Every structure is written in structure tokens, then in C-alpha cells.
Amino acid sequence: MDNRLAWAQAACARVMRPLVRLGLALGLKHRHLEELMRDLLLDEARRVWRTQGVSEPNISQLSVTTGLNRKAITAKVRETADALPSMDVSAAAKTFTMWLQVLADDPASRRLPITGEAQAQSFEKLARQGSRGNVHHRAILDELVRLNMVSEDGGYVELKADGFVPAQDLQSMLAFMGDNSRDHLLAAVSNILGERSPMLERSVYANGLSLQDCENIHELVRRRWNALHLELTREMTRVVDGAGDAGSGRIRVGIYTYYEDAEKPSGSGGSES
């Protein structure tokens, strides 16, 4: 039992260290992180008790599960508010992704008229499909221009990016990081706890290579991901359209690459886990 607690603590430290680095860089202090951890502990403890058939756990049950005292538990009187937008349902992101699908079949569609004939391709038509007609195309275009992902000139718009990465908007970037990292970790945690059939969660690692070699591999992954991204997007669009309002499932497929100049290289080699 002692070993298991130590292992879990070490794993959490590895996961949390980059988040602490981000928090410090953006001004978070100990009190902010302490409050956040308390709220998360209570939220997850409630979830655990509810999965065991308890509709609303009492303070004693929450205290036993989390190790928090009664005062700390009663201090949380309302659900934690999420200050970040939901990027999964962003009309701008969906329109941009649909535009990339069109671009893959027709390179000339990188530049489109804002409006056009009913049968011709236009940004208005893409925006109507991407938002299912719920958001005006002008609002979507203004958002993409604000994010510096498209340019507008003389009644035409042109793609400036090859992926929906809103680098000019800190709030959106934090939302994407939170969503992507959360689901990556949920897959790994589900595999460790054996909650369901194992989910795909793999990586390849090597050390002892040059930074230029790292960048070359990075570019290889980018090229392969672009092709896979297009294939996945088309398949997801097809099944979502087919399900209509009946589907309740959600899925996220991601990929990442990280490299750095390690202080003490220790040979070379690769492994998959």
C-alpha cells in the first residue's frame, strides 16, 4: 500500500510539474492552486460516491475520501465555474476544419469569395455548414480574422494557417491545452484503473540525438498527422451527420511531439509504451 501511494504521488508530480510551471508563468500563487485542488478533490469524491449509488454524499463521506476537514468541505458552497470557452463546439473551429477538407480536394479554394451563388463554394456556404446555420457567417469570419487565421480583402477571404491553432488568443489556447491534455490523461488513467477496454495511448522515445534531428522528426510527424487529420475529420463528419441528434458519445484523437536540449544526454535508443 505504501509503495502504491508513493508511485501514485510520483506519477502525479510528473504530470503536474508542467502545469505548475504554466501557473507560475501566468501569475498563479499557492492559494490559487490550493483552492483548485480542494475543489477538484471534492468534485471527484462526489463522482466516486455517486458511481457507488449514493445520490449525494454527506460531509463525513467526503472527508473520509479526500482527507479534507469539515470546514474546508463546507467552504465550497457552489460548483466550480469554468472560465474557459468550450472549443469543442466552436463554430469558427468547425468552419475552419471544413475549409481544410475542401482545400485538400481543391487547392484553389484557399481563397474564397465571402458570398457567392448557391452552387458555388464560398465562405458563407462553409460557415453555414460548419455552424449548422446557427451562427451568421460574418460573426465566424470576424472571429477567424481576429485570431489571425484568415485574411479578408475586397470581398474575398484567404486561409493563413494550416490548422486551427489560435495562437493570438491566450484564453482559447489555454482551453485547447486543457481539453487535449485532459482527454489524453483520461485515456491513460482509464487504462491504469481498468475501467474499460484499453484505449490507444502510445509513444516513441529516443535520446542522444541532435536538436536538428529532433526537428526533422518533428516535421515528419507533422506531415503524417496532416494526412491522418484529414482522414479522421472526414470520417467524424460522416458519422456525426449520420447520427443526427441521437448520438451521445464523444471522441478526441490527438498527437503530440516534444523535444528539448537535455542537460545530460545518456546514450541513444528508442522504445514504445
Give the Cα separation of 117 and 125 in Å (integer): 9
Give the Cα separation of 125 and 102 in Å (integer): 12
Cβ 127 vs Cβ 140: under 8 Å: yes
- Say what the pLDDT of residue 83 is: 80
Q: What are phi and psi of 178, to 5 degrees?
A: -65, -45
Q: Count how many Cα atoms sit within 13 Å of the Cα of residue 27 in the half-sphere of its side chain.
A: 0
pLDDT above 70 coverage of the chain, percent: 92
pLDDT digits (tens, 9 = 90+) for 119-168: 788 999 999 988 888 899 999 999 999 888 899 999 999 999 888 888 78
Cβ 95 vs Cβ 130: under 8 Å: yes
For range 56-82, the mean pLDDT: 84
pLDDT digits (tens, 9 = 90+) for 204-215: 999 999 999 999
CA distances 244 to 121, 135, 237, Å, are 24, 18, 11
Give the Cα separation of 21 and 214 in Å (integer): 23
Q: Please identify which residue in the block is written with the cell numbers 502504491.
A: 4
- Say what the pLDDT of residue 42 is: 92
Mean model confidence pLDDT for the chain: 88
For range 61-69, the mean pLDDT: 93
Q: Which residues contact 259 (CB under 8 A, 6 or more apart)?
A: 211, 214, 215, 217, 218
- Cross-strand partners of 112: 157
Mark residue 71 as left, alpha or beta (left: phi above 0; alpha: psi -120 to 50; beta: remaining). Answer: alpha
Alpha helices, DSSP H only, in the chain? 2-25, 30-51, 59-66, 70-74, 91-105, 123-130, 137-146, 170-193, 211-243
- Say what the pLDDT of residue 271 is: 45
pLDDT at 112 > cutoff 70: yes
- Say what the pLDDT of residue 268 is: 44
Query: How big is the chain by its Cα radius of gyration, in Å?
Result: 23
For range 100-117, the mean pLDDT: 89
Burial of 93 (0-12, 13-18, 19+ CB in 10 A): buried
